[in-house]
């Protein structure tokens, strides 16, 4: 019996050690904050949560038509660490669902540095710095991935509030388009729509610190006609397999009953 218990303990998954930097919920209609835990003013990389803003920008610039167009093809040399879904043909819907980095890079390159920077500033997105890594002129490739562009949990909530209430300085159609691309899930009677984001800090030698990954979930939950904006940011305390963004999303879903209770929902 003792041997069996030892085997079960060895096979059990180890708990994920991560610090929750910010958890914030706000009423999507009024903007009233319903729950705020942690340091929601701390800015870090938005990672792939930036795709919601880029969807707004890309559609407003005429680069994105609808959920299925344009389809772009992966080319040798494009990032492919996301697996098979990143290789081949990718539509806007698949870009958002599978978080395809190279599709984002095609959009930013088509915009060019000037238009890209102006569009991010116009949205008031975080610190609006898309210059990239100092001295590397790579803002179009990775400003939003552990680089110059940073945003806080509070600013994520504010961006989503303006998106959902059609208050961004772009067409209503572009905001509706970005909203429609957000990935959906059903959790305990609520319908969630949102975007994950995960990235790793750079060390001084430009290597990545895979033990300290940032994990975002940014989105909104709907039930019975009510919408609640939900933002969670965590940072790993040790290395774990998989995406820190997916872990942050899954933590929201797993603890949703408790989170909703603390927010008075």
Q: Kindly state the average pLDDT of the residues 4-26.
A: 68
Residue 246 has pLDDT above 80, yes or no: yes
- Beta strand spans in 164-249 (E): 183-187, 190-199, 214-223, 226-236
Q: What is the pLDDT of residue 17?
A: 78
How many CA atoms, within 13 angstroms, populate the side-chain half-sphere of residue 83? 5
Res 8 pLDDT > 90: no
Task: Tell me what the mean pLDDT of segment 57-70 comes to.
Answer: 98
Alpha carbon distance 166, 156 (integer Å) = 15
154 CA to centre of own chain: 14
Do 27 and 257 meet the contact criterion of CB atoms below 8 Å apart? no
Extract the tokens encoding 138.
């790579």
What pTM was estimated for this model as a whole?
Answer: 0.93
DSSP reduced 3-state for 8: helix
Let me know if 243 is a catalytic residue.
Answer: no
Give the residue from 215, 70, 200 showing the smallest Cα distance to 153: 215
How many percent of the chain have pLDDT more than 70? 94
Taking 80 as the threshold, does the pLDDT of residue 236 lie above it? yes
């Amino acid at each position: 019996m003792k041997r069996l218990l030892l085997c079960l303990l060895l096979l059990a998954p180890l708990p994920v050690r991560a610090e929750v930097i910010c958890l914030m919920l706000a009423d999507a209609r009024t903007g009233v904050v319903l729950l705020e835990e942690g340091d929601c003013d701390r800015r870090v990389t938005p990672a792939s949560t930036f795709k919601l803003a880029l969807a707004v920008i890309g559609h407003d610039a005429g680069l994105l038509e609808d959920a299925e167009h344009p389809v772009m093809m992966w080319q040798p040399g494009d990032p492919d660490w996301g697996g098979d879904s990143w290789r081949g043909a990718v539509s806007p819907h698949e870009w958002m669902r599978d978080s395809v980095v190279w599709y984002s890079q095609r959009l930013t390159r088509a915009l060019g540095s000037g238009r890209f920077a102006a569009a991010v500033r116009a949205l008031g997105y975080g610190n609006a710095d898309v210059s990239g890594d100092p001295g590397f002129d790579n803002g179009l490739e990775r400003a939003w991935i552990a680089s110059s562009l940073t945003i806080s949990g509070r600013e994520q909530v504010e961006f989503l509030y303006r998106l959902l209430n059609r208050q961004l300085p772009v067409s209503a159609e572009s905001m509706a388009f970005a909203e429609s691309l957000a990935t959906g899930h059903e959790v305990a009677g609520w319908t969630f729509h949102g975007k994950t984001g995960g990235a790793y800090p750079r060390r001084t030698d430009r290597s990545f610190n895979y033990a300290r990954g940032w994990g975002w979930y940014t989105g909104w939950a709907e039930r019975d006609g009510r919408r609640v904006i939900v933002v969670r940011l965590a940072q790993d305390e040790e290395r774990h397999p998989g995406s820190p963004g997916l872990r942050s999303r899954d933590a929201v879903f797993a603890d949703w009953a408790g989170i909703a209770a603390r927010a008075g929902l």
